[in-house]
Structure 1
Amino acid sequence: MTVHPSTPQFFLTAPSACPYLPGQLERKVFTHLLGGRAPDLLDLLTQGGFRRSQNIAYRPACERCRACVSVRILVDEFEPTKSMQRVARNNRDLVGRMMPAQSTSEQYSLFRRYLDARHVHGGMSEMSVLDYAMMVEESQVDTRVIEYRRKGPDSAITPRGDRDLMAVALTDVMGDGLSMVYSFFEPSEPERSLGTFMILDHIERARSLGLPYLYLGYWVRGSRKMGYKIRFQPQEHLAPRGWERYVPDEG
């Protein structure tokens, strides 16, 4: 029988090139999420700015940079902007279904199209179908997959009436919120703004579950690829003294 230590052990990675800010080096502190205490540990660590990847929780521990800031949306106070309302209207033909965290070949095909179109040189670009399955299914916490499909003629009756898979989100359900672990979408329809649409849908899902927060991971000031997260207001940022309401810069 495998016995897991009651107190988590933390480790520090070696420096490597930062994927968000040129010329910077990143380091991470991480621990393993194992055993029956994994869900409670993830809740605690997420409140402290950690993120999950499979059975590892990590957070930045860079020596000369503090640009990565943990972000969570205040679900009950959130109101979509006019542009976000347009995104919602443009995707009224989609339906999202939350299901157990199981991978499929259809998901992987969409995942590959997304990476090849938007992140061809990224760290995940070489992931095989087995790597993808491990990303989705290796979790000892309450993890779900949400599939977004075009509505079919029988969508209101049975999921089998749904059509093309357009987007996928890998999401953790925690004690105080939902955490978007990873998401990807059909790259050939950029006018849909599917990334924004999935965040809006997750806000509504958290609200319907009575959960106060949607955790979006890290916002990196100065990184264009992370700039979208700041648009969802109001939100809190994790500061040295704890979570604080973010006040956007004027102008």
Structure 2
Amino acid sequence: MTDLSELKLYATKPHPCSYLPGKDATTIFIDPDADMNGDIFSQLSELGFRRSGHHVYRPKCQDCRACVPIRIPVEEFKMSRSQKRCIKANRDVQTLIVDNIDTEEHYQLYANYIEQRHADGDMYPPSVQQYRDFLTSEWGITRYLEFRIENRLIAVSVCDLLDNGISAIYAFFDPNETKRSLGVFNILFQTQWAKELKLPFVYLGYWISKCKKMSYKVEYRPFQVLIENRWVVVKDYKS
């Protein structure tokens, strides 16, 4: 295994938090010039790091520990009744693994999603360059999932295949297909896919208990959270 102690870390200056009003955030990130690969990134994911494009980062705020890494242990995961209904509602969806999403069809779906769902977020307004930079394919481990109905593209998911799991990087979908709960369906698909690949976890990024936008992440139970560098199982959680 690669010695992670050789990696250089940098920190951003404190800036307004995107998730908790009135809070400042600081992010540490791996040297962009580091010789990164899938093995190193897998080890860093186990320690709570994520990636955005080719940047690998982790929150490191001075007075706040609200961002908690969260993952699904796929063998222990049990679907709820609503999740089973979601699977049933999407029986007509065809899922494909593709090599490239740098097309007008994919970008238009992304732009429509950002404009209708995240006009108040950091990624608004969308642009082609932002799209390419954010959803790059890194170190030979990135996979793109297409979800289609009768050849019509309704959702896209970007994920990385780690040594011990699937890291869900980002997903975007047709905002008009609300009844299908495509965000839920995407996570359920990745959980089943991880099981088929004999990978034990699906990494969902960071969970903030006081942020409503992240409340969906604790609906996949049991889940695990990284507390003081130790993954802890949570079976019963009351919001």
Aligned letter for 1:232?
Y
Normalising to structure 2: TM-score of the pair? 0.93
Residues 90-169 of structure 1: pairs in structure 2 closer than 5 A: 90-150=89-149, 152=150, 163-169=151-157
Report the CA distance shift for 1:188/1:45 in structure 2 as closer, same or farther (over 3 A): same
1:208 alignment partner in structure 2: 196
Q: Distance in 2 between matches of 1:241 and 1:40?
A: 19
Whether the 8 Å CA contact 1:101–1:143 is kept in 2: the answer is no
Q: Distance in 2 between matches of 1:164 and 1:249?
A: 38
Structure 1: runs of 5+ lacking an equivalent: 1-5, 153-162
Deviation of the 1:138 alpha carbon:
4.9
Q: How many residues align?
A: 236
Residues 164-179 of structure 1: pairs in structure 2 closer than 5 A: 164-179=152-167
SS of 1:137's partner is coil
Report the CA distance shift for 1:249/1:178 in structure 2 as closer, same or farther (over 3 A): closer
Report the CA distance shift for 1:185/1:95 in structure 2 as closer, same or farther (over 3 A): same
* Range with greater deviation from structure 2 (77-86 or 6-15): 6-15
Whether the 8 Å CA contact 2:70–2:206 is kept in 1: the answer is yes
Structure 1 moving runs of 4+ over 4 Å: 33-37
Residues 1-251 of structure 1: pairs in structure 2 closer than 5 A: 7-32=6-31, 37-150=36-149, 152=150, 163-250=151-238
Q: Distance in 2 between matches of 1:250 and 1:110?
A: 35
Whether the 8 Å CA contact 1:33–1:41 is kept in 2: the answer is no
Identity of aligned residues (%): 36
- Give the CA RMSD over aligned residues: 1.9
Report the CA distance shift for 1:102/1:109 in structure 2 as closer, same or farther (over 3 A): closer
Normalising to structure 1: TM-score of the pair? 0.89
Structure of greater Rg: 1
Deviation of the 1:169 alpha carbon:
0.6
Q: Distance in 2 between matches of 1:235 and 1:26?
A: 25
Whether the 8 Å CA contact 2:86–2:181 is kept in 1: the answer is yes
